[in-house]
Amino acid sequence: MSRIGKKPITLVKGTSASVSGQTIEVKGPKGTRSFTAGDDVTLTIEGETIKVAPRGLSKRARQQWGMTRSMVDNLVTGVSTGFKQEMEIQGVGYRAAMAGNTLKLSLGYSHEVNFEVPQGVTVTVPKQTEIVVEGIDQQQVGQVAANIREWRAPEPYKGKGIRYKGEFVFRKEGKKK
């Protein structure tokens, strides 16, 4: 039995959901998202809760049960509060700035890196050394943050680079004479 799948999903105030076949659509103050579940699970709405149940006892049905429940819960969270990924930049002369829909990064290269922000994600720069990625789709927010971090991942000797807020970077000792 799936411990995650058993939990019902409570709709937050201001959100509504509708099921048609295997597709669930959730509307909230931040937007609308939908998800199509596999044929191995059943989606039902009972009042202010959404329940996911397996259609059989096969291994695949049990696997899809917990995964589908997590996906639907992420839909509800995304349209009600949204997802946020905070990043920080460390290094002398490393900084970020927004120019329209482009994130401009100075990361120690001979040129400035221009990162086009995709549709559905908002990137803000509260300080020159902080980047905040927000959106209603958890996967897209995480992917955009990973793409930004990819330009200069934190290195282990001085710790310079772009890191997630609260990320621990294992430091190495330098060469000895």
Predicted TM-score (pTM) of this structure: 0.88
What's the mean per-residue pLDDT of the chain?
Answer: 93
In the predicted structure, residue 102 carries a pLDDT above the cut 80: yes
**Distance, CA of 95 to CA of 77 (rounded, Å):** 31
Number of residues in the chain? 177
- How far is the CA of 118 from the CAs of 28, 62, 102, 148, in angstroms? 21, 35, 9, 12
Share of the chain above pLDDT 90, in %: 88
Fold of 3-80: Outer Surface Protein A; domain 3 (3.90.930)
pLDDT of 40-63, one tens digit each? 999 999 989 999 999 988 999 989
pLDDT number for residue 2: 66
Domains 3-80 and 83-164 share a fold: yes
Dihedral over Cα of 22, 59, 47, 139: its sign: negative
pLDDT over threshold 70, residue 156 = yes
Contact 85, 133 (CB under 8 A): yes
Domain extents for the chain?
Answer: 3-80, 83-164
> pLDDT tens, 106-124?
999 999 999 999 999 999 9
Q: Which fold has domain 83-164?
A: Outer Surface Protein A; domain 3 (3.90.930)
Q: List the end-to-end C-alpha distance of the chain, in Å, as a whole number.
A: 59
pLDDT higher than 90, residue 175: no
pLDDT of residue 177: 79
Mean pLDDT of 21-39: 93
Residue 149 has pLDDT above 90, yes or no: yes
User: pLDDT band for position 76 (50/70/90)?
Assistant: very high
The tokens describing 71, both together, are: 């996906």
The pLDDT value given to residue 23: 94
Residue 162 has pLDDT above 90, yes or no: yes
- The yes-or-no verdict on residue 1 having pLDDT over 80 is no
- Calculate mean pLDDT across residues 27-33: 93
